[in-house]
Amino acid sequence: MPPDVSRCTFLVGPEGGFEAGELTPEMISFRLSDRVLRTETAALVGAFAVLKELAR
Q: What is the spatial distance between Cα 7 and Cα 36, in angstroms, rounded to a whole number? A: 26
- Report the C-alpha gap between 46 and 39 in whole angstroms: 10
- 6-50 per-position pLDDT tens digit: 777 888 988 888 888 998 888 887 777 788 888 889 899 889 988
Strands (E), 1-56: none
Rounded-to-10 torsion of CA 14, 17, 21, 23: 90
DSSP 41: H
pLDDT tier at 1, thresholds 50, 70, 90: low
Distant-in-sequence, close-in-space partners of 33: CB < 8 Å, separation ≥ 6: none
